[in-house]
Amino acid sequence: MKYIFQLALCALLFAACSDNDSDHEPPTPPAPIPGETPMPLAKRTVLIYCVAQNDLGTLAWRNDSTEIANGTAFVGEDNRLLVYVDDARLPRLYLFTAEADAQLVYQWTDDHYSTNPEQLKSVVQRVAQYFPAEEYGLVCWSHSDGWLPSSNTDYGMSPMGFGIDVGASGNMNTNYDSHGKPGSQMNISAMAKAIEESGTHFHYIFFDSCLMQCVESCFDLRFATDYIVASPMPIPYDGAYYTHMIEDGLFADSVEHIADTYFNDVNTMTTHYDDYGLVISTVKTEELDALAATVKEALASIDWNAAYPDMEEVDRYYRYIYDYFYRPHYYDLQSSIKHLCSASDYEAVCQQLSKVVTNMKATPRFWIGPYYNNYTYIDTDNCCGISMFVPQEAYARNAHLCIYGNHNETYKQTEWAKAIGKN
């Protein structure tokens, strides 16, 4: 959540999808577990999935759990709020309703990696089976770094990009597991597959975590949800203010209220956020295939393998530096196309972006780090609030220093790169 794990301490100190739609129709939901009785149908069930067996599992989770409890009155009689949390204690599932305080509805008897896609699928299935609703919302709460692969694949899972789970013997304060490596994470494509296989389609997925509004991750998740609400930048350590988010966000008729509420809180609650700033947007996933086709046409004449584009003047949400483990630049998609393509191609992409991005809120200035006084500025009139990877020579030159390897080569494996013809 909340800033990338190396920087969380700093923040405390300083304030594989097919192109065939028929392949992605939801499977039949699993049969109920014998002996357990589902609750009556609700209007909306929201699941907050907290991967908190990391440095966020102490102060940040305590604050957010209090905010959630204070927001219980706003859940509404026709809605339900479920919170799955995996921190220093065994994983557990709570139910929040307008009529009652938090109720422990399920307790796992052993520790497990909540970044395992199978665990996510299992939790989603349990929620849908016993807390059924006309529609569902999912909040993903943890650390994240978008589409990037993980430096840790010790547990037999594919490369990963959401959450950090250090395991029962790991060090939550440092985010390292018992082997001295970064805690286990979840690949976004694996997350999408797990959700699709669960039999539950989400109305929205809200990422209360860093760097998740990247077009590569959105494209992976396009069959799992109708909307994605997320930020393309490293979000504040405190993340969303959940009392307000429950009151006017997670259960609102319009998904755009989630972004609006988050943005308004960051701009007005100075005791929580100081002058951190925020960029957040809402993506309509059914328009992403058309966006890929439009971007492919716009970039058709550009051969990234022949000459790396000069992106010095392009707006970005994240910087490629040693302090950030050589994660790549996260360039704004609209700003990138404007810089790289003709005026007519840029206009075509912008027209499709207007269908993809249903809501964007941005402060012109926001914290980018790594130090407390490092801020950056973007042209909010010519940015879309979605990041996009563009290959750079430095990624190949410094691959031996980067825990993720050569970003230029790793990127080619993404479904988005394949869709726009840059694999």
pLDDT digits (tens, 9 = 90+) for 100-132: 778 999 999 999 999 999 999 999 999 999 999
Query: For the chain, what is the mean pLDDT?
Result: 89
Inter-CA distances, 314 with 43, 328, 343, Å: 43, 14, 16
Provide the pLDDT for residue 99. Answer: 79
Percent of the chain scoring above 70 in pLDDT: 89
pLDDT in tens, 381-414: 999 999 999 999 999 999 998 888 899 999 999 9
- 302 versus 18: the higher-pLDDT residue is 302
Look at the alpha carbons of 56, 61, 63, 67 in this order and tell me if their dihedral is positive or negative: positive
Provide the pLDDT for residue 154. Answer: 47
pLDDT in tens, 269-280: 999 999 999 999
pLDDT at 152 over 50: yes
Alpha carbon dihedral 75, 162, 164, 178, in 10-degree steps, equals 150
**Residue 115 and residue 363: Cα distance in Å, rounded?**
32
Q: Do the Cβ atoms of 68 and 242 come closer than 8 Å? A: yes
Provide the pLDDT for residue 29. Answer: 46
Q: What number is the average pLDDT over the span 330-356?
A: 98
**Confidence class for position 305, pLDDT limits 50, 70, 90:** confident
**Confidence class for position 181, pLDDT limits 50, 70, 90:** confident
- 179 versus 81: the higher-pLDDT residue is 81
Q: How many CA atoms lie within 13 A of 175 on its CB side?
A: 21
Q: Do the Cβ atoms of 367 and 375 come closer than 8 Å? A: yes
Which of 63-72, 148-157, 233-242 has the weakest average pLDDT?
148-157
Q: What number is the average pLDDT over the span 323-333?
A: 93
Alpha carbon dihedral 201, 207, 210, 211, in 10-degree steps, equals 50
Q: How many CA atoms lie within 13 A of 421 on its CB side?
A: 12
pLDDT at 15 over 50: no
DSSP H or E stretch at residue 377:
strand 375-377
pTM: predicted TM-score of the whole model, two decimal places? 0.91
Provide the pLDDT for residue 16. Answer: 31
Provide the pLDDT for residue 350. Answer: 98
Which residues, 6 or more positions from 221, have their beta carbon under 8 angstroms from its beta carbon?
A: 188, 191, 192, 195, 205, 228, 285
Domains of the chain: 5-285 (3.40.50.11970), 287-419 (no CATH)
27-30 contacts at long range (C-beta below 8 A, 24 or more positions apart): 27/196, 27/197, 27/199, 28/199, 29/125, 29/128, 29/129, 29/199, 29/200, 30/125, 30/129, 30/199
Chain-centre distance of CA 288, in angstroms? 16
- 211 versus 161: the higher-pLDDT residue is 211
pLDDT in tens, 209-240: 999 999 999 999 999 999 999 999 999 989 99
R_g of the chain computed on alpha carbons? 20
Provide the pLDDT for residue 324. Answer: 86
List of E strands, 4-161: 42-51, 79-86, 92-96, 103-107, 133-141
Which residues, 6 or more positions from 321, have their beta carbon under 8 angstroms from its beta carbon?
A: 370
**Residue 207 and residue 245: Cα distance in Å, rounded?**
13
Q: Do the Cβ atoms of 356 and 284 come closer than 8 Å? A: yes
Residue with tokens 């009392």: 243
**Residue 122 and residue 200: Cα distance in Å, rounded?**
11
Q: What number is the average pLDDT over the span 138-143?
A: 97
Provide the pLDDT for residue 264. Answer: 98
Provide the pLDDT for residue 161. Answer: 82
Strand pairing category for 279-284 and 225-230: antiparallel
**Confidence class for position 150, pLDDT limits 50, 70, 90:** low
Q: What number is the average pLDDT over the span 44-64?
A: 94
- 186 versus 20: the higher-pLDDT residue is 186
Tokens for 288? 């992403």
Task: Find, among 340, 385, 30, the residue nearest to 213 by Cα.
Answer: 385
**Confidence class for position 325, pLDDT limits 50, 70, 90:** confident
**Cα 296–300–301 angle (5° rounding)?**
155
pLDDT at 140 over 50: yes
Reported residue count of the chain is 423
**Burial category of 311 from C-beta neighbours within 10 Å (exposed 0-12, middle 13-18, buried 19 and up):** middle
